[in-house]
Amino acid sequence: MSAALHQVVDEIVRAALVEDRSFSDLLPRLMREAQTASIGAKAAALPRMAEGIAEAPVNLGGWLAVVSGAWIEDGADPDPVGRAIVHRLTEATAAALAFGNAWTEATGGKPPDMEEGQPSQQVFDTVRPVLGDGTVTAMMSWFALPQFAMASSTVLQTSPATRTGLDDRDFRAFAAGKAAEYLPHMDHVQALLRVLDGERILVLDRATRHGWTVTVGGIGDNFQLHVLLGGALIGRPGCMPGTPPPPEIVACFLDADVPPGPPIVSSPWNLVDAHGEWIYNESVPADIPAVNGTRVVVLDPPSYNRTFPAGRRFPRMPATLHVDGMHLPEDLASWWPHIAPATR
């Protein structure tokens, strides 16, 4: 870490931890030092930043999270700070929801805009009768939630280790979805919290009774799953006949930038779940129901010409889809009784 950046990071974290007024002067200084610091220096500073994010009052920790997210977008490793940011996001979300409920109870109206407003004595006095001793934390969390949402979007896209290392992901995603009523960006956070990594999926071709086990990671929606399955299975040895999507198109759904346009993709099939229901492209792989603990995708012929633009819902999140093995019809005899016909 450069000496100058090391010094200001240490100073601002210490100021944040004790709520020293120098924090407001140190923040622009930190941003100036970071402009000329190397990626390596920023990466080396992130463990210390994580201490401040985890332990400082939520309003100050939120600004440290935003700065850390900017460094990650510049190329710094997100792993040292990722879990601290998302854990603090969860705390801020719970407290912000309590604030929103208290405001509605106290006034019968909508809470103040968390992105445009700010803490004040008037805001405090409005919810104090409902929240009591928790008023300060709830109020500060309400106005800090946009910072944690922004930083969490960055680390969840760039750090598979952060995604897979989180406990209670379903609960976190549920809370994020509730908070989206007040902050639409939390919809993105909710979707990122539901991303599957290292998840094995059984893919069945209804026409031939063949199947494949694939392992997926970092897939943001089923548009992406759709194309990556086509790239992995069509025209490959031991897989399905036909012409696969062009490699440059598949790359757009893995980790490549999308060329201007963007290119339009044609769907080769309908994706159907084990209950015969369509797997909608707008949903996510985590919505695909499991049979005996394994998510199942059934390939059916397309019922109409389905097209959509190339690209990933979360451009910073690289995706993976690996074919682990092929299954012959006789290997799958015990599976098909659990697979319903398509409902349409």
Q: Residue 158 and residue 162: Cα distance in Å, rounded? A: 9
Query: φ and ψ at 264, to 5 degrees?
Result: -100, 135
Domain assignments of the chain as residue spans, ordered by start: 3-193, 197-338
Q: How far apart are CA 262 and CA 259, in angstroms?
A: 6
Beta-carbon contacts of residue 282 (< 8 Å; ≥ 6 apart):
221, 222, 223
Tens-digit pLDDT string for the chain (344 aa): 578 899 999 999 999 999 999 999 999 999 999 999 999 999 999 999 999 999 999 999 999 999 999 999 999 999 999 999 999 999 999 999 999 999 999 999 999 999 999 999 999 999 999 999 999 999 999 999 999 999 999 999 999 999 999 988 889 999 999 999 999 999 999 999 999 999 999 999 999 999 999 999 999 999 999 999 999 999 887 778 888 899 999 999 999 999 888 899 988 889 999 999 999 999 999 999 999 899 999 999 888 888 899 999 999 999 999 999 999 999 999 999 999 988 76
* Residue 264 three-state SS: strand
pTM reported for the whole predicted model? 0.93
Distances in Å between the Cα of 269 and the Cα atoms of 111, 169, 300, 324, 326 are 46, 31, 6, 21, 19
Alpha-helical segments (H) within the chain: 3-17, 23-36, 39-55, 58-74, 79-107, 121-131, 135-158, 160-165, 169-179, 186-193, 222-233, 247-254
The position carrying tokens 């930038």 is: 257
Q: Which residues have CB under 8 Å from 295's CB, separation 6+?
A: 199, 200, 201, 202, 285, 288, 289
**Amino acid at the residue 4:** A
CB 126 within 8 A of CB 47: no
Q: Are 147 and 58 in contact (CB under 8 A)?
A: no
Structure tokens belonging to residue 336: 């098909």
DSSP state of 287: G
Q: CB neighbours (10 Å) of residue 306?
A: 15
Q: What is the C-alpha separation between 148 and 261, in angstroms, rounded?
A: 32
